[in-house]
Chain A
Amino acid sequence: MDLIRLSPLQRVVRLVLIVLALLFTILPLLWIFSIALRPGSQAIFPISVVPSSLTLDNIYAVLFGPNAIGLTPYQNAAVYGITAAVTTAVAASLGGYALARYDLKAGQAVLIVILALSFLPAASRIVPLFILLSSSGHYGDPLFVILAYAAGSTPLGIWLMAGTFRQIPIRLEQAARIDGASAFLTMRRVVLPLAIPGILVVATLAFIDGWNAYSLPLILIPKDTAQPYTVALQAYIREVGFGNNWSLLSAGSLVGLVPVLAVFALLQRRLVRVGGLGSAIRG
């Protein structure tokens, strides 16, 4: 028996709500895809809702054409994402293991402070990081920007990894040690393989943050060639009046969307769970 029995009218209301929310969520994405994939000659006023033909010309133009931003900004974003993912996974595993296996009163207190700080989104860190990197002479160094993003993803990561390690029975570790395995071998052959699903989620979240990085590179990386696609796409925005190059801007955004959507599709079940548990400690 259903927990709540709905009248036919209530069922209709429910269906309408679900469908309207789906349209609200999907239509903007479909629209930018449709502009990206239709010929430029069809992306002008008056515009038809459904394009009469589809083409990959705009994608090609963004990557290789005369007005291209090229492959470099996407490679830079990939470096941001992957480096941030690896750094976060390592830091979160170390911290998570320490909190899961040892009873640390002081550690908990420190983590609470960090959790509070990490709740502050990237925007509020723009000026502080600008000051930090300028005053320490690292202004313009992508590595420090990446580490800043990794630091932002680490607190939630530590929390998730602590939960992952707690679920691995400590008896398994003790058994391996009794059989003569070193601490390192126990880690590598027993604990880490079991923690892989958790590590994957933490790394994925950090990758998404790094790949999507915008505000920090915008202000901290002056060099064009070191900027990610998010910043490079601004080339297609006209500051004053009309005349944005929407075909290329849409195509460039589409290329940037593909990796995160793919990663999300692969891991959505786990990510949805994490989203509920961690409730968006991301900025």
Chain B
Amino acid sequence: MLRRVLARATPWLLLIAPLLLLFLFLLLPYLLTFYYSTTAATIGRLSNVGFVGLANFEAVLASRNPPFPGVVIVTATFTAGTLAGSLVLGTVLALALYTVPAGRRSALLAVYLVPWVIAGVVIGYTWKLMYDPEIGLANTLLGSVGIGPITWLSDKATSIAALVTANVWAGYGIVLLVISAALANVPPNLILAGQVDGASVTRVIRRIILPAIRPAFLLAALVALVGGLNTFDLIYAMTKGGPLYQTETMALEMYRLTALKGSIGQGAAVTVILFSLSLVLAVVYVVLWRRENRKWT
């Protein structure tokens, strides 16, 4: 009797430690954030805080400096740019590598994946250096063909594009990996059949390969989307959201409201907005991931 109870309890005993860790440091913080988004909490005052309903959300939406729609536009532009850039680059490169012999391909993949392991903030410093008006490689190369110095990160016209380029550099490797793994699973017979029927390479890619990898494509798109939406380290290292808030995304806004302005309630409100957006994407992601994972393992 005791043996059987013990045997049934074993897996749960094993799961106690990991579940506790995950509950305390993943789930609980988000629950607290939802709670605090409805309170008047500040950095100095976290206990006995009054309930204020949706006042924090109203304050965030109505904020003038910077105006919230502006922050949303910056966030959307940055995210859309990251998504488009890493998807196009990752997919095109995966297709180019598809016909490369497997040994050489995995060596190349490893090189393309190097930015994946680098700290977001170091990526930020690296690209801040690339864009430096005086000693950056961008201006040095442009200068050698006679194009005058560009102040990439302080100019409104170039700053977001410059950030997007850096973020694509940081993230396209994972898109490349996901697409490459999916390409390796396209049944060779499908492609051979297409070739025998006389289809050109571009036609084979468009009509056979791309439809076959569509689920992986969606998966990669979601990873890039949530990655773009939540980028903090890189932007903070490169521009801190400036100059004049023109590169401030929602991720930076929640940091500024919380840490610099000291309004826990408003910071929590922005976090809840961003969290809800990400969670919808995350649910779609998990559904897709499980379907794909079954195929790959």
Which residues of A are at the interface with B, using a C-beta cutoff of 8 A?
2-7, 10, 13-14, 17-18, 21-22, 24-29, 31-32, 35, 43-47, 49, 87, 90-92, 94-95, 97-99, 101-102, 104, 107, 110, 112-132, 134-135, 147-148, 150-152, 154-155, 158, 163, 208, 211-215, 219, 230, 233, 239, 242, 244, 246, 249-250, 253, 256-257, 260-261, 263-264, 268-269, 271-272, 275-277, 279-280, 283
Contacts and interface: CB of A to CB of B under 8 A. Distances in A.
Nearest to B143: A46
Contacts of B17: 90-91, 94
Contacts, number: 309
B259 A117 contact: no
A276 B181 CA distance: 6
Interface residues of B, number: 111
Given A45-B135, A280-B174, A163 B120 contact: no
B247 to A, nearest CB: 15
Contacts of B99: 2-4, 6, 14
B25 A18 contact: no
B129 A246 contact: yes
Contact of A123 (B108, B125, B251): B251
Contacts of B297: 163, 277
A223 to B, nearest CB: 16
Given A212-B118, A280-B223, A123 B133 contact: no
Given A2-B99, A126-B254, A151 B25 contact: yes
A122 B11 contact: no
Given A116-B285, A277-B296, A128 B33 contact: yes
Interface stretch (B57-65, B66-74, B271-279): B271-279
A118 B23 CA distance: 11
Given A129-B29, A268-B110, A27 B126 contact: no
A149 to B, nearest CB: 9
Instruction: Decide if the interface of chain A is mainly helix, strand, loop or mixed.
Output: helix
B244 interface: no
A271 B113 CA distance: 10
B84 interface: no
B25 A283 contact: no
Interface string B113-124: 111111111100
Interface of B: 10-12, 14-15, 17-19, 21-22, 24-30, 32-33, 36, 41, 43, 46-47, 89, 92-93, 96-100, 106, 108-122, 125-130, 132-135, 137, 140-141, 143, 169, 173-174, 177-178, 180-181, 188, 191-192, 195, 201, 204, 219-220, 223, 226-227, 230-233, 236, 240, 251, 254-255, 258-259, 264, 267-268, 270-271, 274-275, 278-279, 281-283, 285-286, 289-290, 292-293, 296-297
A215 to B, nearest CB: 5
Contact of B254 (A127, A208, A213, A269): A127
Contacts of B274: 124
A246 B293 CA distance: 44
B96 A17 contact: yes
Contact of A29 (B113, B126, B270): B126
Nearest to B209: A4
Contacts of B96: 13-14, 17-18
B177 A117 contact: no
Instruction: Decide if the interface of chain B is mainly helix, strand, loop or mixed.
Output: helix
Given A95-B15, A119-B281, A152-B25, 6 more contacts: A28-B129, A95-B14, A110-B19, A117-B27, A117-B30, A279-B177
Given A126-B255, A261-B114, A121 B230 contact: yes
Nearest to B119: A212
A138 to B, nearest CB: 11
Contacts of B116: 275, 280
A30 to B, nearest CB: 9
Given A128-B30, A250-B129, A44 B254 contact: no
A147 B112 CA distance: 30
